[in-house]
Every structure is written in C-alpha cells, then in structure tokens.
Amino acid sequence: MPLELRKNSDGSIRKWWYGRYEVNGKRYCDNLGVKITGKPPVSLSLMDEGDTSFERSRATALAKLASLVEEARTKRDSARLVEKLYELKTGEQVRSVALANLPEEWQKIPRRRKPNERYAAQCRSTLARFAVFVRGQNAKAEEISHVTRDVARAFMQAEESRGVTAKTWNDTLKLLRASYKYLLLAGSINPFSGVPTRETETIFRKPFTPEELKAIVDAAREDDFIRPILITGMCTAMRRGDCCLLKWKDVDLARRFITVKTNKTGVTVSIPIFPMLYDELALRQPSEAYVFPEQAKMYVENSDGITWRVRKILAAAGFKDADENGETVQTDDAEIVRGEIHAKREGGLRRASIRDFHSFRVTWVTLALTAGVPLELVQKVTGHRTTDIVLKHYFQPGREEFRRALQSAMPKLLTNGHRTPKEEMLEILAGISAKTWQKDTKRLRDLVASI
C-alpha cells in the first residue's frame, strides 16, 4: 500500500498525502485527507526518512490508507455476497453493464419484434448522450448501477434545458426507465422510477380537402418519381416507408387488394385498391421485388430525399410557410396560397409539421369516418389496435363537414325536421316544372355550393 508525494505545477510539494491501492482488479489513487507535516527527506524519496513530524504524518497516512482499503474490500465482499445469493436463487450469473456499453446492451434486450432501424438509431444516440452526461457529472461512474437518482434527474433537467418537447422528454424518460428496469440487477433501485411524465402539447396534422388533394395530384402529374408514392399514400393511408417499400407479393391487382405487414407496428392490414391507384400500378411491370424500386432505394439510403420531394410538390400546390414577418412568400411554382406546412408550439427544438406525407393518412381516415365508413373497417386499413388512437390523432374533420355529417346521420327529431342537402335536392328535382325551373335551379346551385 504505497504512499505518494505529489507536486504542484510549480514543482512544490502538495500539502496532502496520497495513497495508491487496488480493489477487485481496479487501481485507485486518492487524497487521504492527511496533511503532510515536518520536513520530507531531501531526496523526496519515500525510501528515505524525514524528520520526526514528517514520519508521524506518514504513519497517520498509512493507517488511513489501510482503513480505506479495508472499507473498500468490505463493500466489495458484501456486494459479491449479494451477487452470490442472487446467482444461487435464480441460477443466473450477475453481470454489470458498463455505461459506455449501454447502447449496445439496450440493442440486445429481447423483444417480440425488431425495432425499426431509424427508431433504434435514435434510442442508441439518446443512451450514448446519457452515458457522456453521467461521466461528466461523476468521472468515477463506470457502470449503470453507479448512476444515482440525483444524476438521473439532472440529466432529465438538461434535456428540458435543450428545449425538447414534452413528448420527446417523456419518450427519453420511458426509454431510460425501461432500459434500467431490464439491465439492472433484480432488486436494485431504478434511478428513473418515480419521475412523472409531463403533460404533452398535441398539435394535430391537418387533413387535405378533396380539392386540395386534386391540386397536389395536378402539381405532381409530371413528376414520375414522387407521383406514384403520393397517390399510394392518398389511396391507402399507408405510412411513407410502407408506400416506398411496397412489394409486388403484397399486391393483388386481380382482386384489387393490398395485404401488407406494416413496418412500424407489425400489424397486417388489408386495403382495397382505389381506381386512381389501380391505374398507377397497372402501368408498371413487376420485374423487381419492389413496386417502386427507385423510390425504395432512396428511402433506404436517404429518406430525407423523399421528404424533400414531397415538400416540393406541396409547395407547387400552394402549401408553404410564411416568412419571418408572417407574410407568405409568393413563387412561380404556386400562385395560390392554401396554407402553411408547419405550426409554432410552446416548446420543442423544431416547429410542428401539420401538412406532410403523414397528412394523407389523416385525410384518408377523416374522409372515411365522415362519410360513414364503420370505425372497424377503418382500423383494418390503418392497423391501429385501439379506437382511441384513430379518433384522437387521425379523425380531424372541419367543423362544417362534421356538422353536416352528424346532421345527416341523426334522426329527424334531433334535427328539428331539417333535411340534408341531398334530401332537399332530390325533393326539388322531383317537383321541378316549367314554371319553377329558374327558382329551383337557383336553389340547387345554392345547395351544391353548401356541400
């Protein structure tokens, strides 16, 4: 158990004794908290003796070092005893997880299905950032079990200071809490337990109207690369990745159905092929596994390329953000301004996207439910397991469309005898005559305009 004399940058001797020792294969060198007194040997070698006061402080330091080593070994033995009891009880060998290996160990956690690579990469990045933060707080923390509740809360506070949204903050908390739950020794205290999630601010994507969908299709008519993906999204409510990676084996043109296992949830969905999509697919020759091989390649190698092309079409159709002064910039691509593609929110590093490729999914659900399609059939197309998700996040009708749909479905008693526009039009057509045709034509035009 050697002692050390350490020097300052100017060459002078530090006033405290240091001790070097080894426990469980790891080497340590700590300040013993014992002050050096008297005169050290002229050689400054501890092989030689100093004066009486110096030798007295050396003896005190040696006793302190012996006590420190004994305490460390006692803790080690106690911890090892707990591990032995655990191994005897469960038959499993206890292994510690190094902080530096946390992302890789998370990847090895058994799951029902393999996570999407993009999601997995985000999780590994978050865990690596957490490990770096912990080492910055405590350089001696080498294993995940060395993380205290104070450090865990400090990390979550740092995440808030970065300006992330409440949803991202909650996702980070759930990731770390679940990782610790699985990787920690059974019975250990999870430093993230007891940390409550935060109330989230939900900004919903806006559905497109039928007129807006037509404008988007017209804007993409000459773009043979992105047009098929847009039409697939509009007609199927599939996510961007599922549209780009659609395979011929999942397409039944004869029966006009797509049956595919979604990448995000792993749920198999059945989707009827609408005429517009059928016309697009019928032009293609199934010579490769993917229906859209070039788009599939871009999505795998650079999915942002797909996003950029979609935004370009949306801009050409009249959807773009205002400038810093709140004024929408006019370009040659779109003289008509239909709306913005982002919305401001209270927190978050980025603005919320309200019109993008995923809006086609929201549009499909909204149009279907508003038209009276049973929710159970909508779920078969979208793959959602619960109705709450569909109704909360995807059913976003405009107020007037919602009012008309409800009024059409309600009994006459609740609508006070008011007829739907369709019922009024049929009644006008049944009673039209040579004397009333001008008045009836005007009424029909007014009803058509209100629909």
For the segment 63-73, what is each residue's pLDDT rounded down to a tens digit? 988 887 877 76
- Asked if residues 336 and 344 have their Cβ atoms less than 8 Å apart, the reply is no
Distance CA 378, CA 446 (A): 32
Q: Are residues 285 and 234 in the same domain?
A: yes
Q: Which amino acid is at 447?
A: L
Vertex 450: Cα angle to 448 and 451 (nearest 5): 70
Residue 165 belongs to some domain of the structure: yes
Average the pLDDT over 315-331 and give the result: 67
Domain assignment present for residue 353? The answer is yes
Q: Could you identify the residue written with the tokens 């078969």?
A: 380
Q: Do 234 and 126 have their domain in common?
A: no
Backbone φ and ψ for 332, nearest 5 degrees, come out as: -70, -25
CA distance 91 to 142: 26
* Contact between 222 and 280 (Cβ < 8 Å): no
Q: Is residue 202 part of a domain?
A: no
Q: How many domains does the chain have?
A: 4
Give the CA angle between residues 18, 23, 26 to the nearest 5°: 85
Which of 79-83, 223-227, 236-240, 272-276 has the least mean pLDDT? 79-83
Q: Give the CA distances from residue 161 to residues 149, 343, 419, in Å, rounded to whole numbers and listed in that order.
A: 18, 21, 56
pLDDT value for 334: 43
Mean pLDDT of all residues in 109-129: 88
**Which pLDDT score is estimated for 348?**
63
* Domain of residue 236, CATH code: 1.10.443.10
CA distance 411 to 402: 16
> Is residue 442 domain-resident?
yes
Last residue of a domain, one of 22, 57, 90: 90
Please tell me whether residues 371 and 432 are part of one structural domain: no
Q: Are residues 326 and 227 in the same domain?
A: yes
**167 and 252 share one domain:** no
SS3 267: coil
DSSP-assigned beta bridge partners for residue 322: 328
| Residues 221 and 159 grouped into a single domain | no
Provide the β-strand partners of residue 331: 334
Evaluate whether residue 201 is within a structural domain. no
Token pair in block for residue 294: 């070039």
pLDDT band at 235 (very low <50, low <70, confident <90, very high): very high
Which one, of 343, 312, 287, lies nearest residue 230 by Cα? 312
Domain boundary among the residues 63, 90, 117 is at 90
Ordered DSSP codes for 25-91: TEEEEEEEEEE--S---TT--TTS---HHHHHHHHHHHHHHHHHHHHHHHHHHHHHHHHHHHHHHHS
Mean pLDDT of 327-345: 65
All residues at 6 or more sequence positions from 19 whose CB lies less than 8 Å from its CB, including other chains: 1, 2, 3, 4, 29, 30, 32, 61, 64, 65, 68
User: Do residues 80 and 104 both lie within one domain?
Assistant: no
Report strand pairing: 251-252 vs 257-261. Answer: antiparallel
Could you give the CA distance from residue 234 to residue 193 in angstroms, rounded to a whole number? 43
Tokens in use for 380?
């078969």
Select from 6, 12, 10 the least CA-distant residue to 34.
6
DSSP 8-class letter at 392? I
- C-beta of residue 417 within 8 angstroms of C-beta of residue 403: no
Determine phi and psi for 292, rounding to 5 degrees: -120, 80
Helix axes 399-409, 358-370, angle to 10 degrees: 30
pLDDT at 234: 93
User: Residue 219 and residue 357: Cα distance in Å, rounded?
Assistant: 15
**pLDDT for the residue numbered 263:** 84
- 361: Cβ contacts below 8 Å, ≥ 6 apart: 233, 237, 238, 239, 382, 394
Q: Residues near 225 by Cβ (< 8 Å), separated by ≥ 6?
A: 294, 295, 309
| Position with higher pLDDT, 335 vs 211 | 211
Helix (H/G/I), strand (E/B), else coil: 323: coil
Mean of the per-residue pLDDT values for the chain? 82
Q: How far apart are CA 269 and CA 285, in angstroms?
A: 24
Is the Cβ–Cβ distance between 381 and 191 less than 8 Å? no
* Domain of residue 442, residue span: 419-450
105 domain residue, yes or no: yes
Q: Do 288 and 394 fall into the same domain? A: yes
pTM to 2 decimal places: 0.57
User: Is residue 199 included in any domain, yes or no?
Assistant: no
User: 341 and 390 in one domain?
Assistant: yes
The arithmetic mean of pLDDT across residues 5-32, rounded, is: 84
Same domain, 265 and 386: yes
- Helix pair angle (437-450, 421-431), 10° resolution: 160
CA distance 357 to 305: 13
| Higher per-residue pLDDT: 334 or 94 | 94
Give the Cα-Cα-Cα angle 387, 390, 393 (nearest 5 degrees): 135
Domain match, 262 and 376 both: yes
Does residue 207 lie in a domain region? no
Asked if 359 and 216 touch (Cβ cutoff 8 Å), the reply is no
Query: Looking at 72, 90, 108, which one is the last position of a domain?
Result: 90
**So what's the pLDDT on residue 167?**
87
192-212 burial code (b ≥16 CB/10 A, e <16): beeeeeeeeeebebbbbeeeb
Q: Are residues 256 and 398 in the same domain?
A: yes
- Which pLDDT tens digit goes with each residue over 167-213? 889 999 999 999 999 888 766 789 999 899 988 766 678 888 888 99
pLDDT interval class at 328 (50, 70, 90): very low
Half-sphere exposure in the Cβ direction for 159 (13 Å, CA)? 22
Q: Tell me, what's the pLDDT at 310?
A: 95
